[in-house]
Amino acid sequence: MSLQFNNEQMTEFKRLVARYPEGKQKSALLPVLHLAQDSFGGWLPTEAMDYVAILLNIEPIEVYEVATFYSMYNLKPVGKFVFEVCQTGPCMISGSENIITYIQTQLGIQPGETTKDGIFTLKLVECLGACGYAPMMQVGKIYREHLTKEKVDAIIAEYRMQVAAQN
Amino acid sequence: MGVKLLLEKANVPGIRTYDVYRREGGYATAEKALKEMTIESIVEEVKKSGLRGRGGAGFPAGMKWSFIAKPEGVPRHLVCNADESEPGTFKDRYLMEFLPHLLLEGLLISSFALGSNDTYIYIRGEYAWVADILEEAIVEATKNGWLGKNILGTGFDCMIHVHRGAGAYICGEETALIESLEGKRGNPRIKPPFPAIQGLWMRPTVVNNVETLAAVVPIIKMGGDEYAKIGVGRSTGTKLISACGNINKPGVYEIDMTISVEDFIYSDEYCGGIANGKRLKACIPGGSSVPILPANLLLKTAKGETRYMNYESLSDGGFATGSMMGSGGFIILDEDQCIVKNTLTLARFYRHESCGQCSPCREGTGWMEKILQKIESGKGEVSDIDLLWDIQRKIEGNTICPLGDAAAWPVAAAIRHFRDEFEWHIHNRALSQTSNFGLQHYADPIHVPA
């Protein structure tokens, strides 16, 4: 098996599992899937899910049924930065539709798609609990709130620069 | 200025850290509880306080605690519900982000009262940075002897663990949350057995909302009777309201539940009025699941009395002319907002979040979304309104958990109060694509900008 946690990730895995009583290690499944997704390129190939099943000593199907249920697990490859834009009521009445259209135009992709350079993915999501700071989107761990067209431009430029700096 | 019990110190610089929280009197209440009080007396104070669950259902917290089974040799657990996902609601996030130690102190006292040695905070996965803040606070509290073994020499052991969800509104329902905490899909369980008897890993479990558990600190500090004096009737203490939508000052406010809805919306201390000089059209006062109210029924009850921001007054008139306090997610819609479209986005939300276990909810939420989409895109027929009404009625009360009701109520209320707006969409198909129905007779007669 080629997908494996490195030492640091394995330490984190052990820390997560230790939160639950002896024999209840399956409880760590959600946090461990987050760790796997973060460790293996932002998504969960079947191989990663099978690896998690072995680590937690559960059946692969127990991992698949969970990974397909929760919206935060990506079952297909995604770009380096995933724009998850909220489209639920409170964001909608605060102008999220214009922001979504603007991002689509600026990145040249539709919701669910990734830019050709593999940098950006656009996802439409339901309420993220930032209704007072709408419109908003989540990018990785961070919430980008009070979005305007100018802010979207700045955010896209910021991430492009990050990628350029790494190359 | 109203009474502040939870957010009193929210603006103290550095209050997020242990040192500042402690310096400001933090953990003194936990010390009093663990050293000077018995388990029974803590539960008694919470009962006397009249504290009602702040997650949405409003069930008396002290009573919930008293249901917990205590079989010999079986561990019990307290689980903090931080899965805040009800559209319009972002108060728990604020509390955890700015006052993590207040929550931990509430959790410590509550864990002691319930006999929970391993307490879990189930936090929605998207609040990843908030989970980090909580983890940091737990490390600090442990280092300073407030968590761990033999706390304050009392012999009580307690550890608090953060558990991140992964994106599922349904996990705010307590049995779905427990399933999720066990590493499964968030499918609600059939009750009974209730979690208090068989919850997490089939052990006796109490699940309480973040705000509820934080409120335990002021209750124990001031005593249940004193706490109950704040507020009115069965709406005791303070409530966090997260206000959003078309207002000048969106944000999280602590209110003492004696303020009128009108003052809450228009006073500068709170929402600061409707944004951009627009007029008020409607409001969803307690999170997206509760019935939407047109302006005239929002500010005054059907009897013409002033409506207040508390459990009883917001539900005055039942679903016919009232709504609910719910989670405190207060969503304001101005005159430019389209009720059909707003209802459509909520219907889509519930379709997306239905776990799929019960057919009325799984199928019904999808049908409602499709029909609303049809009307919104100018292809609706008059019979669609009756069909929508019929579907929502067949979902309500026919599912394992309240998500079915939560999906049905917004649709029902929208048709109940705004039927002519739906009809206008259907009779003016082309026009509805370029303009809005506006205010018509829902106009708030009081606040017309000059």
A63 and A119 inside one domain: no
Q: Which residues of B touch A73 (CB under 8 A)?
A: 166-167
Whether A136 is in a domain gets the answer: yes
What pLDDT is attached to residue B441?
58
pTM for this predicted structure: 0.96
Whether A51 is in a domain gets the answer: yes
A49 and A121 inside one domain: no
* CB-based contact A73:A44 (threshold 8 Å): yes
A87 and A150 inside one domain: yes
Average pLDDT, integer, range A34-52:
97
Q: Is B155 left (phi over 0), alpha (psi -120 to 50) or beta?
A: left
**Residue finishing a domain among A67, A94, A117:** A67
Whether A56 is in a domain gets the answer: yes
Query: To the nearest whole angstrom, how far is the Cα of A107 from the nearest Cα of chain B?
Result: 24
Nearest to B251 among A19, A87, A132 (CB): A132
**Vertex B400, ends B399 and B406: CA angle to 5°?**
60
A86 and A147 inside one domain: yes
Q: Which residues pair with B241 in a beta bridge?
A: B253
SS (H, E, C) A9-67: HHHHHHHHHCCCCCCCHHHHHHHHHHHHHHHCCCCCCHHHHHHHHHHHCCCHHHHHHHH
CA separation for the pair A1, B268 (Å, rounded): 62
B125 touches chain A (CB under 8 A): yes
B86 touches chain A (CB under 8 A): yes
B84 touches chain A (CB under 8 A): yes
CB contact under 8 A, A89 and B126: no
A162 pLDDT more than 60: yes
* CB-based contact B281:B293 (threshold 8 Å): no
Tell the CATH topology of B339-442: de novo design (two linked rop proteins) (1.20.1440)
Query: To the nearest whole angstrom, how far is the Cα of B129 from the nearest Cα of chain A?
Result: 6
A39 and A93 inside one domain: no
Joined tokens for residue B197: 């008897």
Return the DSSP state at B316.
Answer: T
* Average pLDDT across chain B, whole number: 95
A59 and A123 inside one domain: no
Return residues 172-191 of B near A (CB < 8 Å). Answer: 180-186
The CATH number of B235-334 is which of 3.10.20.600, 3.30.1540.20, 3.90.226.10, 3.40.640.10? 3.10.20.600
B119 touches chain A (CB under 8 A): no
B442 pLDDT more than 80: no
A158 pLDDT more than 70: yes
Joined tokens for residue B24: 């400001």
CB contact under 8 A, A88 and B129: no
A63 and A89 inside one domain: no
Average pLDDT, integer, range A44-72:
98
CB contact under 8 A, A66 and B183: yes
> How many angstroms separate the first and last alpha carbons of chain B?
28
Whether A112 is in a domain gets the answer: yes
Tens-place pLDDT, residues B388-423: 999 999 999 999 999 999 999 999 999 999 999 999
A85 and A61 inside one domain: no
Tens-place pLDDT, residues A65-124: 999 999 999 999 999 999 999 999 999 999 999 999 999 999 999 999 999 999 999 999
Tens-place pLDDT, residues B237-270: 999 999 999 999 999 999 999 999 999 999 999 9
A107 and A52 inside one domain: no
Supply the range of the domain harboring residue A100: 81-166
B445 pLDDT more than 80: no
Number of domains in chain A: 2
Q: How confident is the model at residue A167 (pLDDT cuts 50, 70, 90)?
A: confident
Whether A76 is in a domain gets the answer: no
CATH number at residue A94: 3.40.30.10
CA separation for the pair B192, B198 (Å, rounded): 9
Q: Which of B294, B298, B299, B263 is nearest to B281 (CA)?
A: B294
What pLDDT is attached to residue B449?
46
CB contact under 8 A, A127 and B349: yes
What pLDDT is attached to residue B450?
43
Average pLDDT, integer, range A20-43:
97
Q: Which residues of A touch B75 (CB under 8 A)?
A: 21
CA separation for the pair A107, A114 (Å, rounded): 9
Q: Strand A137-139 and strand B251-255: pairing? A: unpaired
CB contact under 8 A, A30 and B185: no
Average pLDDT, integer, range A41-54:
97
What pLDDT is attached to residue A1?
55
CB contact under 8 A, A134 and B348: no
Domain at B18-223: CATH code: 3.40.50.11540
A85 and A161 inside one domain: yes
Q: Which residues of A touch B250 (CB under 8 A)?
A: 131-134
Tens-place pLDDT, residues B299-357: 999 999 999 999 999 999 999 999 999 999 999 999 999 999 999 999 999 999 999 99
Q: How confident is the model at residue B1 (pLDDT cuts 50, 70, 90)?
A: low
What pLDDT is attached to residue A166?
87
Cite the DSSP H helix spans in B3-99.
18-23, 28-36, 39-49, 61-66, 91-98
Joined tokens for residue B154: 């009392």
Whether A74 is in a domain gets the answer: no
